[in-house]
Amino acid sequence: MQIHRLSALADNYIFVLHDPNSQTAAVVDPAEAEPVLRCLNNLNARLVAIFNTHHHGDHVGGNTELLRTFPEAIVYGGAADRGRIPGQQVFLQEGDRVTFADRSAEVLDVPGHTKAHIAYYFAPVLPHEPGELFCGDTLFAGGCGRLFEGTPTQMVNSLSKIRSLPDHTRVWCAHEYTQKNLQFALTVDEQNRDLQQRMAEVDAMRRRSESTVPSVLGEEKRTNPFLRWDQPVLQAKVKSQDPIQTFARLRGMKDQF
């Protein structure tokens, strides 16, 4: 399974999964159709699946047009998003599995950003290979999504599921927010040397107009404050030893950053 990262809108990423053996493709969170159709044409591939993580327009905006061109494609999304995702045919819950090409992905229920947010985790085929996590707006490189429909408790539970995945998992998040996220992270975890080094690397990448996605989960665990709510340095920063309250106060600070 090959993964093609496409830029869309102002700062979105769309991910096209390609099986060169069958010349079929799936797409994750098509914000708009045009870059997907262009990619499929270049690959000479037929779209068979649309994997949506949640209902926001910058993740499902291309569904309808893609279905006009590929009417047999199947649209997947969370069960609690029924009626909110254009063309949705499959309503997924925690522990369900979806397949594409020779790969199978576990569905994770990760509410917080929205009430029905899900993620897709393709476990590695071989032990030395990375798993692939398509997490929409739940986890970002260096950050996490705003809580539009969920609670801090839900988001901590969701991020805990992601945090439990193997360190070498690749995180395919849906926005290029990394530089701003790390700038905030340094305001609450300024002595973190891993974070300082990552900030320097990301600054250099962005000067070269390079994408920072995917990130690697192990690095997120070391540098992303929203996966570090149980670290004393961050608890001291927000004056709480309660994990949920620590997360909520960090999220509130980021909202104002």
Active-site annotation, residues: 54, 56, 58-59, 113, 137, 175
* Number of residues in the chain: 257
d(CA 216, CA 102): 23
How far lies 124's CA from each of 22, 129, 173, 212, in Å? 20, 6, 18, 21
H/E stretch holding 219: helix 217-223
What residues pair up with 109 in beta bridges, in sequence order? 118
How far lies 126's CA from each of 5, 111, 122, 178, 244, in Å? 23, 30, 12, 29, 36
DSSP letter, residue 130 = P
> Which pair of structure tokens corresponds to residue 129?
């290979």
